[in-house]
Amino acid sequence: MNWHQTIFELIDMRSFSNLWFWIALAVVWSTASHWVLGVPFDMVSRARKAGGQVEQDLEDLVRINVNRFLFIVRLSGLWMLGIVCFVLTMLGLLGWIYRIEFAQALFLLAFPMTLVGALNLSTARLIERDQLSGEGLRRRLTRHRTYTQAVGMLAIFVTALWGMYQNLSLGVLGG
């Protein structure tokens, strides 16, 4: 037995039957819903309760992250959009035309995260445009988190359905 067979036996490349894929999916979505525009959501809750310096820290952190995010988008947004579209198209073609399960799994992780990225851009632009602070900023960040969680729930549901279909069809057909 050679070394690459050993590695592929240790790391199952069939993504939807691999426990590590499902752990990664859970970590990705829990992280995405906890960090709202680069700010931990518990900071939003603490600012709501405590106010004062905690709220000022929240506003400063959001301002820094929004300015940084919008600077990057304005500087290289079209290039990033082109690269993301290329990668998603490549994963989609490899996954569903060429039937590569690993590409399907990556697509089902990456595509919904691009929606969250677009949501981040929209929220950052709204915060900058309206110069939000205080209660308005906390409401906007809470709404953003709710939308992110909705995208995450839908993505996990679709991924679970597709993963069950893949596992059942490969199990019936003999893989």
Domain boundaries, the chain: 53-161
Residue 41's contacts (CB-CB under 8 Å, 6 or more residues apart) are: 33, 34, 35, 141, 145
Look at residue 175 and tell me whether its pLDDT is greater than 70. Answer: no
The confidence score (pLDDT) of residue 74 equals 96
Cα–Cα dist 109/37, whole Å: 19
98 DSSP 8-state letter:
S
pLDDT value of position 10: 57
pLDDT of residue 11: 59
pTM of the model: 0.85
34-82: pLDDT as tens digits = 999 999 999 999 999 998 999 999 999 999 999 999 999 999 999 999 9
